[in-house]
Amino acid sequence: MSKRKSGKIAITSENCTGCLRCALACSFFKSSEKTFNLSNSKITVVPAYDLSRFEIALGDDCDQCGICVQYCEFDVLSRISG
């Protein structure tokens, strides 16, 4: 199982179900609109080319707040301590 670091957040994409809770939470809490709108999310979850897994990326505008981590129930996202 590989864990990739993106700033203060580690990503273990093998566990991702594509549920999009992380992206929906980001869009709600991190936009002034306070609506569930994936176009406002700073984290993207998209199927890989071969559809065998999901690819997760944090945008340059992500401030590493960790809200998305709290909403992932599959241990894909985690905070890196220190």
List residues binding ligand SF4 (CB under 6 A).
Answer: 9, 16-22, 26, 30, 42-43, 45, 56, 58, 62-68, 71-72, 74, 76-77
User: How far apart are CB 56 and ligand SF4 at their closest, in Å?
Assistant: 6
HEC states along 39-80?
HHCCEEEEECCCCCCEEEEECCCCCCCCHHHHHCCCCCEEEC
User: How far apart are CB 6 and ligand SF4 at their closest, in Å?
Assistant: 9
The number of beta carbons lying within 10 Å of the beta carbon of residue 60 is: 5
User: How far apart are CB 63 and ligand SF4 at their closest, in Å?
Assistant: 5
